[in-house]
């Protein structure tokens, strides 16, 4: 594939997201400095609510607080939680494991009820939980993973089956993985591919949602199965007819995506209700 102009690609993503409706108004939306100088954005209700840290997607190289602002507003409004979005450092300027370390630092600092992320954000969210687990530190009570990356080797069948013509192309995925993990040996390291970590015990209760026409579908499903086998309580669902990134604004043009969003919100509210 042609090597993308990353500066241009980032601007295109920002411009596309800037054309979407703002999302629900909330009593409090503010940016403030977090651990290590990371910028965080709080979506609050003016009173204490369970805190959900949100980690945006973008193939490790794209996205920021603004690209996922509408998504975070909708989660906060629909689920009655306070959302804390993380502006973690991006590859290739900051390759692995920087993003994992950034998210883990925020989880240590905020001690949230839950962590959530879409695509690469889901990958960073669950690996940050594993970092805390391995360090003997407390992990959030829940994790919500939406179309997550879980296998840097890109060897699952859906990468080939759905990796052309459905929005997330296999060639782009391979390029993005290279930006995140420049050395091939890194991509074989189980600690950088959650699906390959031998022991997944100790992870939080999980909601994991994939999409039928997503190149990452099979690695998400396999990760859900591995967690279930490790004794983790997992709610898994593959959304029929949808593509990767459906959580990002597709409700505006697709009734099927809008219904899928509502199911995610129901899942999150159920996790809140079930948490002691």
Residue range 135-165, pLDDT digits in tens? 999 999 999 999 999 999 999 999 999 999 9
pLDDT on residue 2: 67
Nearest-CA neighbor of 71 among 41, 108, 104, 47?
41
List of residues 6+ apart from 122 with CB closer than 8 A:
55, 57, 116, 145, 146, 147, 148, 149
pLDDT tens track for 161-184: 999 999 999 999 999 999 999 998
State pLDDT tens for residues 85-102.
999 999 999 999 999 999
Q: Between β-strands 39-44 and 82-87, what pairing exists: parallel, antiparallel or unpaired?
A: antiparallel
| pLDDT for the residue 188 | 87
* The total number of residues written for the chain in this structure: 276
Report whether pLDDT(245) > 70: yes
Catalytic residue numbers?
A: 119, 214, 244
pTM, 2 dp: 0.96
């Amino acid at each position: 594939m042609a090597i993308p102009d990353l500066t241009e690609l980032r601007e295109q993503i920002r411009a596309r997201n800037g054309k979407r409706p703002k999302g629900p108004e909330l009593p409090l939306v503010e940016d403030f400095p977090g651990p290590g100088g990371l910028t965080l954005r709080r979506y609050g209700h003016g009173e204490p609510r369970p805190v959900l840290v949100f980690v945006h997607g973008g193939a490790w190289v794209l996205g920021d607080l603004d690209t996922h602002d509408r998504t975070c507003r909708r989660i906060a409004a629909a689920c009655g939680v306070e959302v804390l979005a993380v502006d973690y450092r991006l590859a290739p300027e900051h390759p692995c494991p920087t993003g994992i370390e950034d998210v883990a630092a925020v989880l240590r600092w905020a001690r949230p009820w839950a962590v959530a992320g879409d695509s690469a954000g889901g990958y960073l969210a669950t690996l940050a939980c594993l970092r805390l687990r391995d360090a003997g530190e407390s992990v959030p009570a829940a994790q919500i993973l939406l179309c997550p990356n879980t296998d840097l080797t890109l060897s699952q069948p859906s990468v080939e089956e759905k990796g052309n013509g459905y929005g997330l192309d296999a060639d782009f995925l391979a390029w993005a993985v290279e930006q995140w993990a420049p050395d091939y040996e890194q991509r074989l390291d189980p600690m950088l591919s959650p699906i390959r970590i031998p022991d997944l015990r100790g992870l939080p209760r999980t909601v994991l949602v994939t999409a039928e026409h997503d190149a990452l579908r099979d690695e998400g499903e396999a990760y859900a199965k591995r967690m279930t086998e490790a004794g983790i309580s997992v709610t898994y669902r593959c959304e029929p007819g949808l593509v990767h990134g459906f959580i990002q604004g597709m409700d505006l043009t697709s009734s099927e995506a809008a219904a899928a969003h509502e199911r995610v919100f129901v899942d999150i509210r159920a996790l809140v209700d079930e948490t002691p």
